[in-house]
Chains A and B, each alone.
Chain A
Amino acid sequence: MKNLLEAQNLKAYYRLVDGIQIRAVDGVTLELRPNEVLGIAGESGCGKSTLAAVISLTHNPPLHVIDGEVTANGFDLLRLPKEQARREIKGKYISVVPQGAMNALNPTQRVRNFAIDMLQEHQPDMTKQDAVDLARARLQELSLPERVLTSYPHELSGGMKQRTVIVLSTLLNPKVLIADEPTSALDVSSQRAVIRLLMTLLDEQIITSIAFITHELPLLRQVADRIAVMYAGKLVEVGTMEEIIFQPQHPYTKALMGSMLVPERHVREQRIEGIPGVPPDLKNPPAGCRFHPRCTQRIEWCTQEEPPPKTVGDRTTWCWLMH
């Protein structure tokens, strides 16, 4: 089976007044393979949500695609007429649960209206009753309480809201689910329930693959098959979960892994060091490797030239040390 989604040299910038541009996604090449959970990791502001918006075709001004391609299901997505994208791709082939989606539910409407709106947006001829029936059947299938449909958002716990949003966003059995920080801000028990639901959706083949976006690497150790690490609008390393978590190569991936506070012995047996400095301003990112101002291993040309990708097996690394 072919890749479900491919981004080629994708560049997406926020264009602000005075000609200022924020280069939030700046040359990303990445594929989502069939039957996988692809983790997309990186610290806040590195461009994860921007990438999610573009590959799910939910981006709006001031965010503009500057260059590159996104292909899925044989379509050149970024050049597809809006109407066709709505009919054939969105919700059906690619569905997205945006960051903070559970808090974006309309507080004055019962949850079932979200299902109706979502379904009618993509299948205008569906009746309200059919939409609600479909949602109810799916909740039953997944052993979630039907009462959520007649509830108002504030009547549900955070974890239940998030699970509901995920179920309703996948009613049309999209091949690709893009989940942007679906468990952030949840307690660990609710976090795990959300993860279980996502795994069930895969097992039941309701969806085929997930792009799971998070800043928490320990969580990706639990769920991901592959992990892509982003820094300042670019990918720095992509590899299998084991490669990224246990044998990271890129200095940023190593430093990030090294600063994870998990409740395990090694964390108390040594002093954990973070990464000094802060990520660069994406209005004016540093020349060469964007990590160079914070990198302890930089060499001369890191400050001048961007490191090209180096691929070995399943792993690609963007660092001069690999060349």
Chain B
Amino acid sequence: MVLANALNNSKKQRQPLLQVENLTKVFGSGKNEVIAVDDVSFEIYPGEIISLLGESGSGKTTTARMILRLSQPTRGRILFKGKDIQAMKGVDYWRQVQAIFQDPFSSFNSFYSVHSFLSKAFRLKGNHVSKSQQRAMMEEAMKKVGLNAEELLFKRPHELSGGQRQRLMIARALLISPELLIADEPTSMIDASSRVGILNMLMDLSRNLGMSIMFITHDIGLAYYTSDRLLIMNKGRIVERGPSVEVVENPTDEYTRRLLADVPTLSKRWAL
């Protein structure tokens, strides 16, 4: 927490890693028009952990997809280290910005084994590592996320459980250790007792290597535990933002207040 505060204090003097400016995404037109993301602006500083927090349908994944260049903004722009991401070369960008997705099935090609899925991380990084070193690094990354390499390395994605696939995504992120990790509901299929361990690992990675993380989640506890700052999203707009403790303890926006009141906590019992 001390480090996080130091980062918060110094961030004003630093250049943001990512700047999102007036980002808007409209799907469909006429009476089918959906404004999924509505004039959203924020920035992420190096080494910072933030959460984009909102209920389902609030526009979180759409925002993430635009940041990852998987979807074109209708309006607005995204800068990475000051450069418009549309003008960057794909490989260059994805070496520095990586994602862990909500539905891990959709991000795996079912013909590849776990081994070839992880091998690609090395190709993307572009640094030359011998095959045997790669193997050792893969096994270590898998071990860190609680996967047994011996048993799983040559399995295919559909042979793994949802939780195992999410762990695998995280192992890959560990191998790539990008500058910015976008984690969209990264632990939704992992049980509480293991979830914390995995989050701790990602937080350590951020602390030790200065990796920035943007969690995208509806899990307020997760966001509060991991993040320096929270961005609360409702119906495509960011309705409240600030340091996690401040937002949770003194929410100013009406929607945020209601959201927090509905989260079950341990200290209070609801009046029902």
Contacts and interface: CB of A to CB of B under 8 A. Distances in A.
Contact of B266 (A215, A221, A223): A221
17 contacts: A188-B263, A192-B270, A195-B270, A216-B192, A218-B221, A221-B265, A222-B269, A223-B272, A256-B192, A259-B195, A260-B221, A261-B192, A261-B224, A274-B198, A275-B194, A275-B197, A278-B194
B1 A268 contact: yes
B220 interface: yes
A96 B191 CA distance: 24
A228 interface: no
A192 B55 CA distance: 13
Contacts of B200: 271-274
A144 interface: no
B195 A267 contact: no
A312 interface: no
A215 B264 CA distance: 13
A215 B55 CA distance: 20
Interface in B229-252: 244-245, 248-249
Given A259-B193, A268-B225, A189 B269 contact: no
Interface in B30-58: 55-56
A265 B250 CA distance: 13
A274 B195 contact: yes
Interface string A179-191: 0000000011101
Nearest to A45: B191
Given A187-B56, A196-B272, A222 B193 contact: no
Interface stretch (B86-94, B119-127, B254-262): B254-262
A78 interface: no
Contact of B265 (A192, A263, A274): A263
Given A187-B55, A261-B219, A262-B266, A199 B196 contact: no
A216 B264 contact: yes
B196 to A, nearest CB: 4
Nearest to B263: A188
B191 A44 contact: yes
Given A188-B218, A245-B266, A261-B221, 7 more contacts: A189-B262, A215-B192, A216-B264, A221-B269, A259-B192, A263-B221, A264-B265
A276 interface: yes
Q: In the complex, which of the residues B193, B219, B244, B245 has the most CB atoms of chain A within 10 Å of its own CB atom?
A: B193
A65 interface: no
A-B CB proximity, top 3 nearest: A261-B221, A274-B196, A274-B197
A274 B269 contact: no
B137 interface: no
A261 B196 contact: yes
Contacts of A215: 191-192
A188 B222 CA distance: 14
A168 B270 CA distance: 26
B76 interface: no
B193 A219 contact: no
Interface string A225-257: 000000000000000000001000000000110
B264 A222 contact: yes
Interface of A: 43-44, 187-189, 191-192, 195-196, 199, 215-216, 218-219, 221-223, 245, 255-256, 259-265, 267-268, 271-278
A187 B218 contact: yes
A218 B264 contact: yes
B16 interface: no
Contacts of A277: 146
A267 B196 CA distance: 11
Contacts of B132: none
B88 to A, nearest CB: 35
Interface in B185-206: 191-200
B148 to A, nearest CB: 9
B29 interface: no
B212 to A, nearest CB: 19
A146 to B, nearest CB: 24
B241 to A, nearest CB: 16
A189 B272 contact: no
Contacts of B197: 273-276
A202 B200 CA distance: 41
B266 A263 contact: no
Given A189-B55, A218-B266, A261-B196, A195 B272 contact: yes
B267 interface: yes
Contacts of A216: 192, 264
Given A218-B264, A222-B269, A263-B220, A272 B191 contact: no
B195 A261 contact: yes
